[in-house]
Amino acid sequence: MSRHLSRRTLLIAAAAALASACAPALATPAPAAALVARPASDRWPAGFRQAVPRVQEAYRYAVANEPILRYIPCYCGCAGLGHHSNFDCYVAEQQPGGWIVLDAHGFG
């Protein structure tokens, strides 16, 4: 009986794994990076969630106001990191499907 139960459990687990792999939960999979976020779905990485509320607010503002921040030069002297605007201090990369890779520079 335990052999029958373990076979059944294995089949159920395999079916569940297959169903979740085939489910269109996300139109675009998340990029493989430690600081990946999807702000529209309120999905933020652990580093963001561990930051103080003021820092979280700054990142949320930067993501929501990209057109404005693109015209504001970086004011913290991080141009050597490749930052051209204030937006670059918060977002390292924008990816398809609404995913972004945060720049940890703003975490302090």
Find the mean pLDDT for residues 58-69: 94
Query: Positive or negative CA dihedral for 75, 80, 82, 84?
Result: positive
Mean pLDDT estimate for the chain: 75
pLDDT digits (tens, 9 = 90+) for 22-56: 333 344 455 556 899 999 999 999 999 999 999 99
Per-residue pLDDT at 107 = 80
How far are the Cα atoms of 2, 12, 17, 64, 98 from residue 93, in angstroms, in the given order? 51, 39, 31, 15, 11
Q: Between 51 and 74, name the one with better pLDDT.
A: 51
For residue 102, pLDDT over 90 is answered with yes
